[in-house]
Amino acid sequence: MKQEAKSGTGTPATLWDRTRQLASQEILETALRLFTEQGYDETPIAQIAREAGVSQRTLFRYFGTKEDLLGSDQHRFAQVLTDTVGAQPADVGVWDALRAGFTAVLALHDSREQALQRFRLLHTTASLRAGYLEKQLRLQENLLPLVEARMGAAVGGADPRARAVIATACACLDAASMTWVARDGEGDIIDLYDECVAAVRG
């Protein structure tokens, strides 16, 4: 899933960019390993920094909070989702547009194993779960105007159908990722998502 490093402008990354990216990746991989071995709440930032070979100050330059070690890409994920949904042709139905968005977001994970670690921690750690649900509600609001336009619904949240579709799609993705974790990463999340959508739409 990894591609050649690029800068924020899409040009080839400089040596400094690549060094920063490698350091960030090392911190992230160390954090995920320790969270998986010890538990998220039981793992102190000081230990992550020490085992990643950096100072706590350096760690916080890359990741603003402990939660960011799992969800540092949330803004990027949200941007890719809304951009992808918005870029779908006008004749693409709302369910297919949302599916395309979710597929694009899932492809952002660096590896299948990293995705499994993240989802497992997310679904088994109460504090992370609460934060995730809060972010998901904000994401649904971001999607609302895109879905309203695609459905020809009244704008501004005045039509319940758009909210219902978004909430149902997000719930299906949630159910799919939970099932994927329960199966220890067997299969593909998007295939499980399709099963969930078929169940609720059928």
What residues contact residue 30 under an 8 Å CB cut-off, 6+ apart?
Answer: 48, 51, 52
If DSSP codes are grouped into helix, strand and coil, which group holds residue 6?
Answer: strand
Tell me the average pLDDT of the chain: 88
Tell me the domains of the chain and their CATH numbers: 15-69 (1.10.10.60), 73-201 (1.10.357.10)
pLDDT confidence of residue 59: 92
Q: Helix (H, G, I), strand (E, B), or coil: what is residue 53?
A: coil
Q: Does residue 8 carry a pLDDT above 70?
A: no
Residue count of the chain, please give it.
202
Which pLDDT does position 156 carry in this prediction? 83
How far is residue 120 from each of residues 79, 94, 96, 115, 129, measured CA to CA in Å?
23, 29, 27, 8, 11
- The average pLDDT across 20-29 equals 84
Share of the chain above pLDDT 70, in %: 90
Is residue 1 very low, low, confident or very high in pLDDT (cuts 50, 70, 90)? very low
Which tokens go with 59?
């760690």
Which pLDDT tens digit goes with each residue over 182-192?
Answer: 999 999 999 99
pLDDT in tens, 29-47: 899 999 999 999 999 999 9
pLDDT of residue 2: 42
At residue 6, does pLDDT exceed 50? no
Give counts: helices (H), strands (E), the chain.
Answer: 10, 0
Residue of higher predicted confidence among 68 and 50: 50
Terminal alpha carbon distance of the chain: 33
The pLDDT score that the predictor gives to residue 189 is 97
pLDDT at position 11 is 59
* Total-model pTM: 0.80
DSSP code at position 63: -
Scanning 39-188, the segments in alpha helix (DSSP H) are 45-52, 56-62, 68-71, 74-87, 94-106, 112-124, 126-151, 160-182
Task: Return the pLDDT at 132.
Answer: 85
What pLDDT, in 10s, does the model give residues 152-184? Answer: 877 887 889 999 999 999 999 999 999 999 999
